[in-house]
Amino acid sequence: MRDYLQLSLRTCPKVVACSIALLLAFPVWGYDSALSPGAIRDAYFLGSRLGGVSPDLLNRYAWSIGELHEGTCTSRARIETPFLQVAEYSGSALNYSSQAAVKDFYERPMVLRIFLDICYMRQAPQPNSVNIKFIQKKKEVFPIADTREFYAEPINEYSDLPSNGERAIIEFDPAKLDSSTLTVQINTPNGQRVEAEFDLSSIR
């Protein structure tokens, strides 16, 4: 067994480093509503250590809403927490240090963004036709911004298909949320009602 572990460490250093980074980045308490200097450094190293935020990590911040779809287009949600924003910035910035990240982001006002691509009918009506509510601990939580636009299932970068849904970009004050389950209720103009749950304890 010891020989196997030594072989794994020699042959898969990037896998081991990635696993350690994930363990450090996602302790048991989950979502950071406010970023401490330590959390900012965690995000910095997660984003910069392996040349950017990995697709596997980004997948932890995305959910499929399979009950709500139109044709092959399935509704999806993606959450962008302050922690993830720091990690992504650190992975793309040149000549950037953990000290600079702490200086740039500690006590800086930030938002938590939720992106919803809602597929529900062909020739969908004007944006703002879908009613969306967020519930945490049996209480509705209200966003500080809610931007809507038409959404069409992307086929390729050149596709220009008629709208079959709506995209919502919703921003929250991070301090208004905690690491408990966040429920989104979606009501469409054609009578579909869907609830989806996002486990904020599994992300930072």
75-120 pLDDT, tens digit each: 999 999 999 999 999 999 999 999 999 999 999 999 999 999 999 9
Number of domains in the chain: 1
- Mean of pLDDT values over 175-186: 95
In the DSSP assignment, the letter for residue 158 is T
Q: Which two tokens stand for residue 76?
A: 């999806």
Residue 20 reports pLDDT greater than 50 = no
Query: Which 3 state secondary structure label does DSSP give 67?
Result: strand
Q: Which residues contact 115 (CB under 8 A, 6 or more apart)?
A: 77, 78, 79, 80, 167, 168, 169, 170
Give 28-83 pLDDT, tens digit per residue.
446 888 899 999 999 999 998 877 888 988 999 999 999 999 988 999 999 999 99
Asked whether the predicted pLDDT for residue 1 surpasses 80, the reply is no
Question: Tell me, what amino acid is at 163?
Answer: S
What three-state secondary structure class fits 183? strand
Spatial separation of the C-alpha atoms in residues 74 and 158, rounded to whole Å:
20
Give the structural domain span for 189: 2-202
CA distances in angstroms from 141 to 50, 52, 108, 162, listed in the order given: 36, 32, 22, 32
197 vs 3, residue with greater confidence: 197
Q: So what's the pLDDT on residue 182?
A: 97
pTM for this model (two decimals): 0.81
* pLDDT value, residue 30: 63
Q: Is 186 exposed, middle or buried (0-12, 13-18, 19+ CB in 10 A)?
A: buried
Please choose, from the candidates 168, 195, 201, the residue with its C-alpha nearest in 3D space to the C-alpha of residue 183: 195
